Structure 1
Amino acid sequence: MKISSARQAFTLVELLVVIAIIGVLIALLLPAVQQAREAARRMQCANNLKQIGLGLQNYHDTFLTFPYGGSVVSGVNWGAGGSTGQGLFNWRSFILPFVEQGSLADQMKSEMGTTSDFVAGSGTAAWATKVEGLTAAQTTVTMYQCPSDSGASRDSVAISWSNMPHFTGPIASYYGSAGPTATGSTTTPTSPCALTTGCTIYGPDNDHLGAAGTTSPGMFVERASKIGMRDVTDGTSNTLMVGEERSVSDDGYPWQLSHWMEAVSLGSTIKGINSDIRTSTYGSTVASYYDKSFSSLHPGGAQFLFVDASVHFLPETIDIRTFCNLGTKAGGETLSDY
């Protein structure tokens, strides 16, 4: 009689070995999958910045100047203003017709009107309450959001300042560069630039808002300005235009003024990339705008749009003097390698 020696099943030991091998393979594969996903997100982020760059270039071709950083109504806690009552607009709003968002720009203008009448909201200033009443403020512009930014959603922080709009809506991940200008007295003395020999901070406190006029060492300033290509004597390939700013601080709190339509939409280069310093000045649920640096959730640095519409990834280890020099449009500095 012939006896069959064929096995009918795995032994328990063999099954455990197979499971262990599969587990090891998955453990080896997951980081590669995550890296591939981040590479795709980073590429999409770069594409967003390139589209923004083209929009800014087309705006300049039309008006022979770049848009100003923000628009605030004269006499509303901001000194001399440069707007005509449409106090919510910022540079992102101005380039909407040049990035295939003309219908949204028309909707904003229609809803805003030209008067300072109040619209239901929580702010105390006319422009603040007007912007809170806009349905356009709830529209997500995906081009303004980095896909790696975990806070890039329709839920935005409610601004705590009494005269500011209390937004609940989509945030933006990209901010205009004001160059090495002060963003508030709370950070100027302790910024990396202030602590570094040979690093210059231009203007008085809050000068990125245009308190000293309509000039700026960088490409943007709050209030009306007429900064154009003619002013970029350092070279368009050596001057920052727009950079990333993540919407959540290191300790998990959302940053103030992060809505894409917010008038204050500029960043300073006096603080190093990813060097956010959180304070409790504005309560336990919001992070102070003054403590914010250019930053991202891409490992090791952030992406920047230059005036020539090129996009570069700058490491967080970049020398603060080099970073500040990249922020000036007419500083005449000699750039170090970056």
Structure 2
Amino acid sequence: MDLHSTKNRPARPGFTLIELLVVIAIIAVLIALLLPAVQAAREAARRIQCTNNLKQLGLGLHNYESIAAALPPAGVLSGKGNVVTTWIGWSVHGRILPLMENGATFNAINFDHSGESPQNITVAALSIAAFLCPSEPDARPATANVGISNVTNYGFCMGDWFVWGGFQGPENRSAFGPNRSRRWSDFVDGASNTLVAAEGKAKQPLYRDCGGLSLVKNPSAIPGPEQAPLDVVPEYGGGGCEFKTGHSEWSDGQAHHTGFTTAWTPNKKTVGSSPSGEPVDLDITGQREKKGGPTFAAITARSHHAGGVNALFGDGSVRFIKDGIAGPTWRALGTVAGGEVVGSDSF
């Protein structure tokens, strides 16, 4: 073996440590630049799918009204005065299923019993893709009073603060309510200027059954949308309210599960205290419809999209409503016959 032969062999080319570090740094910078763009593209796709889901709800409503000559009720109750004796709470969601290519699920529902009944536990636990926004981070079923129920990200418009006046009380000013089926001809403000549905967050923290709201109890004198939540609703602090979650049961026709109200503008934070004393962004309903009227509630439209919520209007169009919409404009869009004049440039 020639010991001198290796000395004359040319050195192999390679990277120095500094060159390797420079390459790694460049790759890291490229990833940092590309990742937000990829995330933005994915969110844009999710928002498009969310818009399509609302359009499907709109088509379902229009087909339902063309067949039944009226829109579906947000639950069916019987009783007298403010006392409910029978609650059949099937939601608008459940009633339009066959018109959204979910006929098999609809046929599995026993409409003589509520979604929480043993007869309907299985169907209420089903996940319906059209009822879920792709941006929802926790679409897992929620544990309900009976068995397991599945969540939804869409609520139908069920009032401003005033939701239901009982069996002898006045009707609310919005598209949907218990024991009531409006027709499109009732939308005298114009279908294109009337909210029908909007997004909500699944498992939204909620105070309910507070025994009523001490300062919100007159349908003709409800708090303005510009007022401070804790000033007009001290019950946000807890007290005798039950702490639960809303938008956790697509089968339940009550406002806190399958509705929203225009009490506050989209994504408005209404911070109260949880039972443990921690601050939490809350929805609130003084008394659930199934417990008897009158019902006043703030079930805020919320979404996981930055800057606003997708909303369905009576004409079937879906528009992205920004968080900064003026409170009176949002309220006006929530009425079917309020007589307000709302310009298209105001939302």
Deviation at 1:311, TM superposition (A): 0.4
Q: Do the aligned partners of residues 289 and 210 (structure 1) sit closer, same or farther apart at CA in structure 2, a change above 3 Å counting? A: same
Counterpart among 68, 79, 85 of residue 83 in structure 2: 79
**8 Å Cα contact 1:167-1:259 kept in structure 2:** no
Give me the whole-angstrom Cα distance separating, in 1, the residues matched to 2:87 and 2:84.
15
Equivalent residue runs for 1:292-307 within 5 Å: 292-307=299-314
> Where do residues 87-126 of structure 1 align in structure 2 (5 Å cutoff)?
87-109=88-110, 114=112
| Residue in structure 2 matched with residue 185 of structure 1 by the alignment | none
- Using the size of structure 1 for normalisation, the TM-score is 0.76
Counterpart CA distance in 1 for 2:275 and 2:246 is 9
Shift of 1:275: 1.4
- The structure carrying a bigger strand percent of its residues is 2
Q: 1:86 to 1:250 in 2, by over 3 A?
A: closer
Moved more, 65-74 or 30-39: 65-74
In 2, Cα distance between equivalents of 1:73 and 1:179: 20
Partner AA of 2:272 in structure 1: T
- Quickly say closer, same or farther: Cα 1:172–1:53, change in 2 above 3 A: same
In structure 2, distance between residues paired with 1:151 and 1:254: 16
1:229 to 159, 184, 192: 184
Matches within 5 A, 1:204-283: 207-211=162-166, 213=169, 215-221=171-177, 223-249=178-204, 255-264=245-254, 265-280=258-273
Is 1:139 matched up with 2:119? no
Asked if 1:312 is matched to 2:319, the reply is yes
1:114-173 deviation per Cα after TM superposition (whole angstroms, max 9, x unaligned)? 4x7xxxxxxxxxx5751685211111101001111112222x154xxxxxx445232011
Per-residue CA shift, 1:163-221, capped at 9, x if unaligned? xx4452320110011242x2xxxxxxxxxxxxxxxxxxxxxxxx313436473311111
* Matched residue SS, 1:89: coil
Please give the residue correspondences for 1:10-89 in structure 2 after superposition, counting only pairs within 5 Å: 10-74=15-79, 79=83, 87-89=88-90
Query: 2:332 is matched by which residue type in structure 1?
Result: N
Deviations 1:18-70 (A, max 9, x none): 00000000000110011001001000000000011000000000011111122
Which residue is 2:232 aligned to? Answer: none
* Offset, 1:9: 1.1
Q: Secondary structure at the match of 1:72?
A: strand
Q: 1:310 to 1:241 in 2, by over 3 A?
A: same
Between stretches 33-42 and 127-136, larger displacement belongs to 127-136
Deviation at 1:272, TM superposition (A): 1.1
Count matched residues: 286
**Aligned counterpart, 1:174:** 154
Once residues 319 and 132 of structure 1 are traced to their aligned partners in structure 2, the CA distance between those partners, rounded to angstroms, is 45
Q: State the alpha-carbon separation in 2 of the partners of residues 237 and 216 from structure 1.
A: 19
**Post-superposition offset of 1:97:** 1.2
Among 302, 325, 334, which residue is 1:327 paired with? Answer: 334
Question: What is the Cα-based RMSD across aligned positions, in Å?
Answer: 3.0
SS at match of 2:73: coil
Residue identity in the other structure for 2:310: Q
Task: Give 2:199's aligned amino acid.
Answer: E
- Which letter does structure 1 place at the counterpart of 2:102? Q
Q: Report the TM-score when normalising by structure 2.
A: 0.74
Q: Which stretch shows the higher mean deviation, 165-174 or 322-331?
A: 165-174
d(CA) in 1 for partners of 2:102 and 2:313?
A: 22
In structure 1, give the amino acid aligned to 2:174.
Answer: G
Q: 1:16 to 1:214 in 2, by over 3 A?
A: same
